[in-house]
Amino acid sequence: MSNLDDYRIEARNWLASMAGMFGCEARHGLSHEDDLALGREYMRARHDAGFSGINWPVEFGGQGLSHIEKVVFETEEMQFGMPVGYFGISLGMPVPILMRYGLGENGEHLPWVKERVLRALRGEEIWCQLFSEPAGGSDLAGLRTRAETDGNGWRLNGQKLWTSWAQYSDYGVIIARTDPTVAKHNGLTYFWVDMKAAGVEVRPIKLAGGDSHVNEVFFDDVRLEDSQRMSPVGGGFAVAMATLMIERYVATDSGGFGPHLDLFIDLMRRLEVNERPALGDGRVRSAIARNHAMRAGLDSITTRAMLMLQAGMEPGPEGALNKLVSVRSRQKLSELAIDLMGADGLQFDPSASQKQDWGSSWINSPTGRIAGGADEMLLNTIAERILGLPQDHRPDKGVAFNQIPA
> 42 phi and psi, to 5 degrees?
-65, -45
For residue 101, is it within any domain? no
User: How much is the average pLDDT of 208-213?
Assistant: 85
Task: Yes or no: say if 401 and 184 are a contact pair by the CB < 8 Å rule.
Answer: yes
> How many angstroms separate the CA atoms of 326 and 302, rounded?
12
Residue 118 and residue 54 in contact, taking contact as beta carbons nearer than 8 Å:
no
Question: 239, 259, 279 — which closes off a domain?
Answer: 239
CA 17 to chain centre: 27
Once rounded to an integer, what is the mean pLDDT over residues 281-307? 89
Of 294 and 368, more confident: 294
> Are 52 and 150 within one domain?
no
Residues 260 and 369 in one domain: yes
Question: Quick one: what percent of the chain has pLDDT higher than 90?
Answer: 60
Q: What is the pLDDT of residue 284?
A: 96
Q: Evaluate whether residue 94 is within a structural domain.
A: no
Predicted confidence (pLDDT) at residue 393 exceeds the cutoff of 80: yes
**42 & 79 share domain:** yes
Report the amino acid identity of residue 126: I
What's the confidence (pLDDT) of residue 406? 78
- The answer on pLDDT for 182 being more than 50 is yes
> How far is C-alpha 316 from the geometric centre of its chain's CA atoms?
17
Average pLDDT over residues 143-152: 96
Kindly state whether residues 382 and 256 are assigned to the same domain. yes
**In a shared domain, residues 230 and 330:** no
Q: For residue 259, give the CATH number of its domain.
A: 1.20.140.10
CATH number of the domain within which 213 lies: 2.40.110.10
DSSP letter at 382 equals I
- For residue 26, being part of any structural domain is answered with yes
Q: According to the model, what pLDDT value does residue 349 have?
A: 85
379 versus 353: the higher-pLDDT residue is 379
Instruction: Using alpha carbons only, give the angle 385, 319, 217 rounded to the nearest 5 degrees.
Output: 105
Whether residues 36 and 141 fall in one domain: no
Give the helix, strand, coil percentages of the chain, each rounded to 5. 50, 15, 35
> Which residue type does 175 have?
I
* Euclidean distance between CA atoms 83 and 70, whole angstroms: 17
Nearest to 140 by CA among 113, 160, 121: 160
Q: Is residue 245 part of a domain?
A: no
Query: Is there a single domain that holds both residue 268 and residue 374?
Result: yes
CB of 347 closer than 8 Å to CB of 359: yes
Same domain, 257 and 379: yes
**Total number of domains in the chain:** 3
Q: Is the pLDDT of residue 395 over 90?
A: no
Distance separating alpha carbons of residues 117 and 170, to the nearest angstrom: 13
Task: Reply yes or no on whether the pLDDT at 137 is more than 70.
Answer: no
Both 227 and 284 in a single domain?
Answer: no
Mark whether 226 and 302 lie in a shared domain.
Answer: no
Assigned domain for 49 exists: yes
pLDDT at 2: 64
Predicted confidence at residue 251, as pLDDT, reads 45
The Cα–Cα gap between 327 and 304 comes to 20
| Percent of the chain predicted with pLDDT > 70 | 95
Residue with the bigger pLDDT between 70 and 351: it is 70
Mean pLDDT score, 108-113 = 80
pLDDT for 350: 79
Whether residue 106 is contained in a domain is answered as no
CA distances from 11 to 71, 100, 197, 314 (A): 11, 28, 39, 29
Q: Is 63 a domain residue?
A: yes
Most confident of 21-30, 171-180, 358-367, 370-379: 171-180
**Residue 327 to residue 298: CA distance in whole angstroms:** 12
Q: Which residues, in sequence order, are bridge partners of residue 173?
A: 129, 192
Task: Give the mean pLDDT of 164-180.
Answer: 97
- Could you give the maximum distance between any two Cα atoms of the chain, in Å? 76
Burial of 213 (0-12, 13-18, 19+ CB in 10 A): buried
Residue 405 lies in a domain: no
Q: pLDDT tens across 66-104, in order?
A: 877 887 898 789 889 899 999 999 998 899 999 888 877
Supply the mean pLDDT for the chain. 89
Strand locations in 178-280, DSSP E? 188-194, 200-205, 214-225, 272-273, 276-277
For residue 74, how far is the Cα from the chain centroid? 14
137 and 74 assigned to the same domain: no
Domain that holds residue 78: 3-83
Please indicate, yes or no, whether residues 36 and 136 belong to a single structural domain of this protein.
no
Rounded Cα distance between 180 and 188, Å, is 9
Backbone φ and ψ of 47, nearest 5°: -65, -45
